[in-house]
Amino acid sequence: MTNAIEINCATGEVIERPLTAAELTQREADAKAALDAKAADEKAAADKEAKRLAVYAKLGLTADEIAALA
């Protein structure tokens, strides 16, 4: 079961309750958005690295020389 914690700052009361159906649905959507952003980050980093390596290749550098520049 997935629970939420609610802390009432006025009374100090702490309530632990299961997430509602709507909260579960929203949580899934929010999680997907976060994962999509992470995937976009990783793709951007991979694309940048590929471009960097392509430039080195055009310069005629060997793999060892490229590694030495990293």
Partner 1 sequence: MATTYSLISSNVLSSSAASVTFSSIPSTYTDLVVRVSGRTDTAGQAIDTIQLQFNGTGGTAYSYTRLTGSGSAAASSTGSSVSVINGYYVLDAATATASTFGSVEIYIPSYTVSQNKPLNVIGAQENNNAAAYMAATAGLWTNTAAITSIAIQNGGGNYVSGSSFYLYGIKNS
Site residue total, partner 1 (CB under 8 A): 32
Which residue has tokens 């520049």? 69
**Contact present, 14 and 6 (Cβ < 8 Å):** yes
Positions in 11-40 near partner 1 (CB under 8 A): 11-12, 14, 16, 19, 23, 26-35, 37-38, 40
Which residue has tokens 């700052």? 9
Is position 67 an interface residue for partner 1 (rule: CB under 8 A)? no
Q: Could you give phi then psi for residue 5, rounded to 5 degrees? A: -105, 130
By CB under 8 A, name the binding residues for partner 1. Answer: 2-12, 14, 16, 19, 23, 26-35, 37-38, 40-41, 44-45, 48
